[in-house]
């Protein structure tokens, strides 16, 4: 029956790859928890992610020299990669340094060169806190903003600039370097479902990044009372040979001056500055470099090894979950929670339904004892399959996602002993895919007496292929002359697909619902199949979510 749906089901993508962007719920959460995500970032990376910015002298040295320069404010100081090179170069300047990550500010205060006589470090969220509570009004000569404005929601950037204006002297400067449109990181994000709004994306760790065009940045500062003194687009190709990565980095470098007259044109010096973004027939173009030495003089802020994490999921992005089920202890490696929210594969985490069904199987081994068991969509955890392997004759754990299967194989090898490991087979199975179905049939030609699926009913388009696949792989009603009732057991929280839709699809492929939980099919407790699973002194089923349901089907 699976072959009848082959033409359509092979195109079915169970794991969403839409480019519809981040949902409103997550947009609000990223905004509300921005401080938390950056705090986790600095907990993980400490001061190792960004390089110390020794290029500031070369690029902007003229702004720091002179007897009139007394005070500098670093916005988004991070671990101090900007502040401390400046502290060493300019002994007569006092530096304020703020960040809305308490952990980042603590890193600055713990730096070997930190002294309160030279640096005032404090926590401040420029979208909501008043800078003048820490920095006297109109007292700062220079504000530095190095890869910080991009972390702010575009709709709140004006608030940040107005906050900065309160502490800047009337002719004070803002020195800015930040991400530019067309940077490799932005190109990678456009292939994923990580767009919050135009040119604004969320990374895998929950931190956000905006990519500036020169028009957007110019308008933003002019609208908030700044003149453009310098504005340039810098480009550099960074090669990381160890990771075999070539990264085309693009960033905007600019200088703005506070003024009541925002219509002052760019200076001749600014227009002639190397690496500037020029306008030609209304279209931007990059001035090309012919000298390799000149190109290499432009420094990239990020550590090249760690920069790869901006583009791909970090190799160390997993966490281990400990699960105790009766006399069994499992350690399951899953995708770390800080990366789950942007991962399009639902199979890289452990769902509550799998926890409960594994607990049911641990407390009721007779469900699978001596039987052939198939788990559909088990994800990387495979906890139900591993529990079943203790008493079943054969267990085949399947999922359609290759990354989930890789992690599943590791979890199985780590957790199962020599008596259970040979009985568990890990196999790829995209529902409705004829080749995959036939490969599973070759493992167990007589079919499977128990098929289990936990949280596999949340996508409407996947329901028919799910039941078609289960029908093709479930066993007949006979075993050595004995009439048996092969079972399909689904455990889930009802989400986008309601129960009538599930039952309708099940009926099309010859499955009838004979029991469910927590409600019952029959009012007679003695006729319940599922009810006894939760009874008895030895049965301690863990129910992590009261919204969970179990549906028990027989195949006709």
* Start and end residues for every CATH 3.40.50.150 domain found in the chain: 2-17+338-555, 24-310
Q: Do 157 and 149 form a contact (C-beta atoms < 8 A)?
A: yes
State the residue for tokens 């005070």. 71
pLDDT in tens, 84-112: 889 888 999 999 999 988 888 999 998 88
| Backbone φ and ψ of 257, nearest 5° | -120, 135
pLDDT at 279: 35
pLDDT in tens, 215-236: 999 999 999 999 999 998 888 7
Residues of the chain with pLDDT under 70: 1-20, 45-52, 54, 188, 190-193, 237-247, 260-317, 336-345, 477-484, 523, 525, 536-539
pLDDT at 304: 40
Distance CA 135, CA 127 (A): 16
- 323 Cβ partners below 8 Å, 6+ apart? 329, 330, 331, 332, 355, 358, 383
Strands of 372-376's sheet in order across:
424-428, 394-399, 372-376, 450-454, 487-493, 548-555, 511-517
Strand partners, 272: none
State the residue for tokens 């959460």. 29
Distances (CA, A) of 156 to 180, 204, 367, 427, 465: 18, 22, 57, 49, 46
Nearest 5°: CA angle at 443, between 530 and 429? 70
**How distant is the alpha carbon of residue 62 from its chain centre?**
41
Distance CA 500, CA 503 (A): 5
Give 443-496 as a DSSP string. H-TT-BSEEEEES--S-GGGHHHHHHHHHHHB--SEETTEE---EEEEEEE--S
Query: Both tokens of residue 329?
Result: 């202890």
Q: Do 430 and 436 form a contact (C-beta atoms < 8 A)?
A: yes
Distance CA 397, CA 378 (A): 6
pLDDT at 458: 85
Give, to the nearest 10 degrees, the angle between helix 34-45 and helix 24-32.
Answer: 60
Architecture of domain 2-17+338-555: 3-Layer(aba) Sandwich (3.40)
Distance CA 518, CA 330 (A): 27
pLDDT at 191: 55
pLDDT at 275: 39
| Backbone φ and ψ of 511, nearest 5° | -105, 135
Query: Both tokens of residue 440?
Result: 């599973």
Query: Both tokens of residue 49?
Result: 């992610």
**Which candidate, 190, 261, 251, places its Cα nearest to that of 229?**
261
Give, to the nearest 10 degrees, the angle between helix 434-443 and helix 463-473.
Answer: 30
**Which candidate, 306, 307, 276, 299, places its Cα nearest to that of 85?**
299
Total-model pTM: 0.54
pLDDT at 330: 93
Q: Prior bond to 432 cis, omega within 30?
A: no
User: Domain spanning 24-310: which superfamily?
Assistant: Vaccinia Virus protein VP39 (3.40.50.150)
- What is residue 112's three-state secondary structure? coil
pLDDT at 2: 39
Q: What kind and span of H or E run contains 232?
A: strand 226-240
Q: Do 108 and 119 form a contact (C-beta atoms < 8 A)?
A: yes
CB neighbour burial string for 406-439, b if at least 16 within 10 angstroms, e if fewer? ebbeebbeebbeeebeebbbbebbbbbbeebbee
């Amino acid at each position: 029956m699976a072959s009848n749906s082959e033409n359509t089901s092979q195109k079915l993508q169970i794991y969403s790859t839409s480019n519809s962007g981040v949902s409103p719920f997550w947009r609000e959460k990223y905004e509300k928890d921005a401080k938390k995500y950056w705090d986790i970032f600095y907990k993980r990376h400490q001061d190792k992610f960004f390089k110390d910015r020794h290029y500031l002298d070369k690029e902007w040295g003229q702004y720091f020299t002179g007897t009139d320069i007394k005070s500098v404010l670093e916005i988004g100081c991070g671990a101090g990669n900007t502040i401390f090179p400046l502290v060493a170069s300019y002994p007569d300047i006092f530096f304020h340094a703020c960040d809305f990550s308490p952990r980042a500010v603590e890193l600055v205060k713990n730096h070997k060169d930190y002294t309160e006589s030279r640096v005032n470090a404090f926590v401040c969220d420029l979208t909501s806190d008043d800078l003048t509570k820490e920095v006297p009004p109109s007292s700062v000569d220079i504000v530095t903003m190095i890869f910080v404005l991009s972390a702010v929601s575009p709709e709140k950037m004006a608030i940040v600039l107005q906050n900065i204006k309160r502490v800047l002297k009337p002719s004070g400067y803002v020195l800015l370097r930040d991400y530019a449109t067309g940077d490799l990181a932005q190109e990678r994000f456009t292939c994923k479902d990580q767009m919050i709004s135009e040119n604004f994306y969320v990374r895998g760790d929950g931190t956000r990044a905006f990519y500036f065009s020169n028009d957007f940045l110019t308008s933003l500062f002019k609208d908030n009372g700044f003149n453009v003194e310098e504005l340039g687009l810098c480009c550099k190709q960074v090669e990381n040979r160890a990771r075999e990565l070539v990264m085309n980095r693009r960033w905007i470098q600019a200088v703005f001056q506070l003024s009541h007259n925002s219509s002052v044109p760019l200076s001749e010096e600014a227009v002639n500055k190397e690496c500037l973004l020029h306008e030609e027939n209304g279209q931007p173009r990059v001035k090309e470099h012919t000298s390799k030495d000149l190109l290499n003089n432009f420094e990239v802020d990020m550590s090249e090894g760690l920069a790869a994490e901006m583009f791909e999921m970090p190799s160390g992005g997993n966490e281990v979950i400990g699960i105790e089920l009766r006399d069994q202890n499992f350690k399951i490696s899953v995708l770390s929670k800080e990366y789950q929210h942007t991962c399009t594969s639902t199979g890289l985490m452990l769902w509550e339904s799998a926890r409960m069904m594994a607990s049911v199987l641990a407390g009721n081994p007779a469900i699978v004892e001596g039987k052939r068991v198939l788990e559909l969509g088990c994800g990387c955890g495979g906890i139900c399959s591993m529990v079943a392997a203790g008493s079943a004759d054969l267990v085949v754990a399947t999922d359609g996602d290759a990354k989930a299967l890789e992690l599943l194989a590791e979890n199985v090898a780590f957790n199962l002993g020599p008596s259970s490991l040979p009985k568990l087979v890990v196999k790829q199975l995209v529902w409705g895919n004829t080749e995959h179905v036939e490969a599973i049939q070759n493992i167990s030609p007589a079919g499977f007496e128990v098929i289990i699926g936990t949280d596999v009913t949340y996508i409407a388009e996947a329901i028919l292929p799910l039941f078609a696949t289960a029908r093709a792989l479930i066993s007949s009603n006979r075993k050595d002359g004995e009439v048996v009732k092969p079972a399909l057991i689904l455990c889930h929280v009802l989400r986008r697909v309601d129960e009538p839709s599930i039952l309708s699809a099940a009926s099309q492929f010859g499955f009838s619902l004979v029991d469910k939980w927590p409600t019952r099919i029959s009012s007679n407790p003695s006729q319940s199949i599922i009810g006894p699973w939760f009874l008895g002194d030895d049965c301690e089923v863990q129910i992590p979510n009261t919204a969970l349901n179990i549906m028990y089907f027989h195949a006709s």
